[in-house]
Amino acid sequence: MYYFYYMKDKVRALIAKTGVPGRFYKSHKFVFSLWMLVTLIFVVQSLVTHRYNNYLIFENTFRNLLLQQSLYAEYPTYHGDVNHYGPVFSILIAPFALLNNSLGLLLWNIFNCVVLFKAIGSLPLKSNDKLLIGYIAIPCLVASMLNQQFNAAAAAFIILSYTMLNKDKGIWSALFIALGTFVKLYGVVGLAFFFFVKDKPRFIGALILWSLLLFSLPICFSSLSFVLHSYADWEASLTEKNISNILGAASDISIMGFFRNLLSGLTISNAFFLGIGCLLFLVPYVNIKAYKIRDFQLIILASALLFPVLFSTGSEDCTYIIAIPAVGIWYILEQNRKLKRYILPLTMIFACDFPLLFFPKFSNDYPIVLAMISVPFFIVWIRLLYLAVLLKPAQTVTRTEFNKG
């Protein structure tokens, strides 16, 4: 449990011994270099092993849009599995799909890496606090880059939905909410920041206009009837995937999957879990006097990042890149040192998904082992809700410097 603190002391000792400036590992350029290194390593690994099926699914959506072929059918000639993203995604992937697969994959992963790093950098936090989130996110970044997933960008869109509002750029906030929703649905949680909007009518107008624009974009490359049919197919695809994940058990590593496996209740409906989850999500909003407090808003942001991962049957290990920035936000705001000392190492260890890495057969035979990744994230979420309810307007939160842990 104290491994991370032990290693931190070792790193400091090494820095003192080698004469490397202590501020080196506290440099944003250094953390960004680590992120890029992770990205490039797994691009090379994917290309060498020919393990980039997810990217092939993604880039094929643009081709299918142009040919007006189903965006959600199986295409075994090109890839395994099927697409589960909205029609707008075929436009987002287009610049990469126009390139050869090697270059497209490289730039796709770099895009996801950079956009999330920049989004974290836009948070209204001290420089060292943002640096800490960058370090905390690395285990989940590995899983995301390994699977060529869009999830890093999905997390970035949710974060930017808030930070644009924080900078009085509601029009751009509305864009990221609409874009995140039209691509993966998760972006809809950005509406959680609506109560922080100063000019609500203008914001609603911007949201409607961006939605109309995004809906129209795929039509420019195909036809209205095809796009309308594609949205119907998207709904059917998500419904089928949801059923498959529940019955497959091992596919669902959300907190819902954990409790289903714990209670041997595969028949427990999503509506039951979502009902409880939504009620809990709304609890902090009773603290009306805290709406204008930055720390309260950051807690709502963290909750919005955690909720769609914890309460989605489609959650995988690579999906937790969306939730991990929330853990960093919690760690920064949390004043209980004992909780910080135990929960952060646990969360990062579980985020590494060691059971699947070292014991794949055992993990697949006992799905609850895989679903346990959600537990520390769920604990963080509950703690954040508690902190939000108790936060008072006059309360100030003491910031802890990174080098003091």
Which residues lie below 8 Å from residue 161, measured CB to CB, with a gap of 6+? 173, 176, 177, 180, 187, 190, 193
Residues 330-351 pLDDT 10s: 999 999 999 999 999 989 888 8
Q: Which domain holds residue 352?
A: 20-404
Residues with Cβ within 8 Å of residue 269, at least 6 apart in sequence = none
In a domain? residue 207 = yes
Mean pLDDT of 116-134: 95
User: By mean pLDDT, which of 60-69, 72-81, 169-178, 240-249 is the weakest?
Assistant: 240-249
Q: What DSSP state is assigned to residue 285?
A: G
Q: What is the pLDDT of residue 355?
A: 63
Average pLDDT, the chain: 87
Per-residue CA distances from 94 to 90, 110, 235, 253, 267 (Å): 6, 15, 22, 30, 40
Query: Which of 12-26, 60-74, 251-265 has the least mean pLDDT?
Result: 12-26
In a domain, residue 14? The reply is no
Q: Which residue has the higher pLDDT, 223 or 243?
A: 223
Encode burial over 183-214: b for 16+ CB neighbours within 10 A, e otherwise: bbbbbbbbebbeebbeeeeebeebbeebbeeb
Residue 1 forms part of a structural domain = no
Euclidean distance between CA atoms 34 and 369, whole angstroms:
29
Any domain includes 32: yes
pLDDT band at 10 (very low <50, low <70, confident <90, very high): very low
Q: Residue 72 in contact with residue 236, Cβ under 8 Å?
A: yes
> Is 71 a member of any domain?
yes
Contact 315, 273 (CB under 8 A): no
Q: What's the whole-number mean pLDDT along residues 16-23?
A: 48
pLDDT over threshold 50, residue 18: no
How many C-beta neighbours within 10 Å does residue 348 have?
A: 20
In a domain, residue 8? The reply is no
What is residue 294's predicted lDDT score, i.e. its pLDDT? Answer: 94
Query: Percent of the chain at pLDDT above 70?
Result: 86
User: Which pLDDT score, from 0 to 100, does residue 260 have?
Assistant: 86
Q: For residues 393 and 289, is the Cβ–Cβ distance under 8 A?
A: yes
Q: Is the pLDDT of residue 26 over 80?
A: no
The number of beta carbons lying within 10 Å of the beta carbon of residue 247 is 12
- pTM, two decimal places: 0.89
Residue 213 in any domain: the answer is: yes
3-state secondary structure of 198: coil
Report the alpha-carbon distance of residue 244 to residue 54 in Å, rounded: 18
Residue 244 CB coordination number (10 Å): 13
15 part of a folded domain: no
Burial of 73 from C-beta contacts in 10 A (0-12 / 13-18 / 19+): exposed
Q: How many domains does the chain have?
A: 1
* Beta strand ranges found along 205-317 (DSSP E): none
Q: Which residues contact 207 (CB under 8 A, 6 or more apart)?
A: 174, 177, 178
What distance in Å separates the CA atoms of residue 374 and residue 311, rounded to the nearest whole number?
10
Residue 197 DSSP label: -
- Res 290 pLDDT > 80: yes
- Measured between alpha carbons, how far is residue 265 from residues 255, 362, 364 in Å? 13, 20, 17
pLDDT of residue 8: 47
Query: Cβ(314)–Cβ(253) under 8 Å?
Result: no
pLDDT > 60? residue 173 = yes
Task: Please tell me the predicted confidence (pLDDT) of residue 356.
Answer: 64
pLDDT at position 316 is 85
Q: CA-CA distance, 129 to 126, in Å (whole number)?
A: 5
CB-based burial label for 368 (10 Å; 0-12, 13-18, 19+): middle
